Structure 1
């Protein structure tokens, strides 16, 4: 499916840099290059060879920029079409002038994601691989990048296709038994049908189980550090960041607003929020900061509650503990270098589900344990850090859940030995839902929505 028109866009981020690239794709890409590009030492631009020369306006003969350009003949290109890339100087003026000249001589401005959309429509990538292109670009950590790259290389797609193949086998057996009941064929049994569908359900459920971890790897883990004033919240943030980001003093209430920073903890992207100390106060500004602290607390994926283990539990501590019962939390008993009056056993009785760690921010003890526990709580024993197939896309998760429900319904009807025609409907629904993930059964509006999230030039 080759598009009739030729598209062009700036493929590099805006701003100043060493190089900026104009990308052109379509059947007229080579013709446009020959019109605007003057090679320095040859009159011929060879396929897949970089050529040095200038971009020249063919009407005024004005030199626009000194460039390197390459022509790549389809179908062995990113879009499966003829592709040209012009490497200009990395400023907005040379890029803009070169693009204007390209558009003037036969190309149109590409829509966001249109180059990757053409790669999908022309069969080079399936839809999940195309979506992985964005994830590769936006990856914040090595682990996030590795997961996105695996999806781009088709490992996730391969898993989906394997599951669909199991469903195809089930559908074939059902169809044969419905259409040719009197022929000499192996009759499908309800036990065999239930067994085959259970294999499908197990495979789909395994992918869904990875989705929460995948979402965190993709979007980042929201971690809120809470506690009373002067218990070590800002010190923990500084230790995790390895820099003095938050002001640390012995004066309670130094942090009056939330401080947010992004970091990577052993490959996990984390959005860390240091909150104002929660206490009773008449200070209007501090009150506003405390309200924002409570808001961060409610929206966090993980709460790190820091307590001063050298002081008896206060009313504020008890109120926070009460709210932590339903939250995924790490309780940090800080200042163990001083005389302790609060111990792990005491907190464990109040919060049996919480992880409790003893630390000394002053002596930097226990920081690594906090990092290890964050990693453990993200993966939760459900997903291995080395797993190559991980669901990171909300669209994929929703479709997997839809496929799982259809399979569950089919299994339930199989147990009741209902008519094969009814079972076939649910099996086919599951097959269609999985097909939407890789783009084999997806509608045009979904395709357009997916590629609308891309940047120009990709």
Structure 2
């Protein structure tokens, strides 16, 4: 980390301000090269963490009128010297300021490199670093609250507690292996079994929170299916409260998947409006139908719509087949028209909620939202003191740690020689360290930070 990095830390586009950030041992020197203060202030008189007004120059060429802050490490985000330059918003101004910094010795930052340096320099553990990107991507208040909790160290503290407990068990085992053979009193291994089972129980509870965590972090991947003209796009528009999808009486209007995020009781619904399912000779529409089938296979929730004003046909039957063994809701649309659909012919599984609606007249929409909430959110999904696993990487790590700890506890109970227990106990301890980054390989680390934006 000898080189000094620089990047644009605000989104590309027109805005009130843009921010260019530098971090590294030469960041303040580079900042002094390119910044000229106003009001007769000398560059060396700029105080630490005090914002100053002036201009950025590339040699003698004026680049922009800016505010600038010099921040001395280690009390910074990366624990390195940092310079932040607040430019006029827009594509050109921030890019010109960034290029000026690069010309004067900075290197363009990689994805997530600022947060990666914060981790490597000990300001954040890895679970906290990952919470940063979760905060940025949060689509609901609950997702944001969970990421804030993890950034404050909720998961880090839980993992530390379990690793400390495993370390105590390892010390007990090591003592028994190394000293009891020399005539020392043998330790009571029932303590290991009891403590091991308690840690195992806690780890399983944390692991089981991942279902809640996934829903909060990623939302419910929801696909709307049905034959053409049953009201799929109208439903999307109604739930989104905006005309996101084109609605016409012409079958096959929707040809590609349209995605929209909707907030229901603090949980994000990622709604996929798909092409109407039917046989078609239109090449483009057929691609859309194939996509509909693919999205239905991978959805967390399928909302299947049928037209109450028409008799059941083969296209409806194809839709019904997609609901087998899937979490689904059936909507019977156009309840304001004459009912021509024989409900008995649908043969819908009794566990699938069936709701009569009229999207046109806004009848049944609130019932649909309540049903979705009840299916996925049993009561308050997050209590104030609950630590949730929201990250699939963390979930996989916990699963591996639980497996090794179970092996060890079961071996203790069956009287396996105590020196055979150490391997699985130590593996569980080391595996848990991958969550906080205390035991993790560089290639995994690089992969994690590649998901970040460049300026964070």
Normalised to the residue count of structure 1, the TM-score between the two structures is 0.88
Residue 240 of structure 1 corresponds to 239
Q: Residue 35 of structure 2 contacts residue 54 of structure 2 at CA under 8 Å; is this kept in 1?
A: yes
Partner of 2:142: 143
Alignment partner of 1:366 is 2:364: yes
Is 1:113 the counterpart of 2:112 in the alignment?
yes
User: Which residue in 2 is equivalent to 1:202?
Assistant: 201
Q: Conserved in 2, the CA contact under 8 Å of 1:50 and 1:68?
A: yes
Displacement of 1:385: 6.8
Contact 1:237 1:274 in 2 (8 A): yes
- 1:207-286 alignment to 2 at 5 Å? 207-248=206-247, 251=249, 253-266=251-264, 267-279=266-278
Tell me what 1:47 maps to.
48
- In structure 1, what is the Cα distance between the partners aligned to 2:306 and 2:91? 52
Specify which of 21, 32, 36 is matched with residue 34 of structure 2. Answer: 36
What residue is the counterpart of 2:127 in the other structure? 128
Does 1:434 pair with 2:432?
Answer: yes
Cα distance in structure 1, aligned partners of 2:186 and 2:315? 71
Summarize the Cα distance change of 1:435–1:382 in structure 2 as closer, same or farther, 3 Å threshold.
Answer: farther
Question: Does the 8 Å CA contact 1:112/1:456 hold for their aligned counterparts?
Answer: yes
- CA shift, 1:76, in A, is 0.9
Distance 1:179 1:116 in 2: 43
Aligned partner of 1:303 in structure 2 is 302
* Structure 2 CA distance for partners of 1:185 and 1:145, relative to 1, 3 Å: farther
Conserved 8 A contact 2:4-2:107: yes
Work out whether residues 320 and 346 of structure 2, in 8 Å CA contact, stay in contact via their aligned partners in 1: no
Show CA shifts across 1:383-412 (max 9, x none).
547675222222211111111111121122
Instruction: Kindly state the Cα deviation for residue 179 of structure 1 after the two structures are TM-superposed.
Output: 1.8
**Structure 1 spans left out of the alignment, 5+ residues:** none
Report what 1:355 is aligned to.
Answer: 353
Q: Which moved more, 1:278-287 or 1:173-182?
A: 278-287
d(CA) in 2 for partners of 1:126, 1:232: 48
Q: Is the alpha carbon distance of 1:353 and 1:55 closer, same or farther for their aligned partners in structure 2, counting shifts above 3 Å?
A: same
Aligned to 1:158: 157
| Residue 412 (structure 1) aligns with | 410
1:17 is paired with a residue of what secondary structure? coil
Tell whether the 8 Å contact from 1:69 to 1:84 is kept in structure 2 after alignment.
yes
Aligned to 1:188: 188
> What SS does structure 2 have at the residue aligned with 1:324?
coil
> Hey, what's the Cα distance between the residues in 2 that align with 1:50 and 1:347?
72
Answer whether contact 2:357 2:363 (CA < 8 A) is retained.
Answer: yes
After TM superposition, give the deviation of residue 349 of structure 1 in Å: 6.5
Structure 1 segment 386-405 matched on structure 2, within 5 A:
388-405=386-403
State the shift of 1:215 in Å. Answer: 2.9
Distance 2:103 2:116 in 1: 23
Offset at 1:284? 6.2
Alpha-carbon offset, residue 131 of structure 1: 1.5
- Paired residue for 2:97? 98
1:229–1:99: structure 2 CA closer, same or farther, 3 Å change rule? closer
Deviation at residue 440 of structure 1 after TM alignment: 0.6
Q: Distance in 1 between matches of 2:302 and 2:385?
A: 26
Q: Aligned in 2, Cα 1:435/1:31: closer, same or farther, shift over 3 Å?
A: same
Distance, in Å, in 2 between the alignment partners of 1:4 and 1:315 is 67
- Residues 15 and 342 of structure 1, relative CA distance in 2, 3 Å threshold: closer
Whether the 8 Å contact between 1:253 and 1:286 is mirrored in structure 2 is: no
Asked if the contact 2:334–2:358 (Cα under 8 Å) also holds between the matched residues in 1, the reply is: yes
Q: Matched residue of 2:421: which SS? A: helix
Conserved? CA contact 1:257–1:292, under 8 Å = no
126-135 or 319-328: which moved more? 319-328
- Per-residue CA deviation, residues 74-117 of structure 1 (Å, 9 max, x unaligned), is 11110111211111222344333333333343433322222211
Map of 2:86 onto structure 1: 87
- 1:275-332 deviation digits (Å, cap 9, x = unpaired): 3333456666655543333232222221111223455544443443343121111112
Name the TM-score, length of structure 2 as normaliser: 0.89
Change (3 A) 1:13 1:234: closer
Confirm or deny that 1:457 pairs with 2:452: no
The SS at the match of 2:16 is: strand
How many angstroms apart in 1 are the aligned matches of 2:205 and 2:346? 32
**Aligned position for 1:170:** 169
Q: In 1, are the aligned partners of 2:245 and 2:258 still within 8 Å (CA)?
A: no
CA contact (8 A) 1:256 1:285 kept: no
1:333-361 deviations in Å (ceiling 9; x for gaps): 333445557688x5896413322223232
Residues 1:63 and 1:185: Cα distance change in structure 2 (over 3 Å):
farther
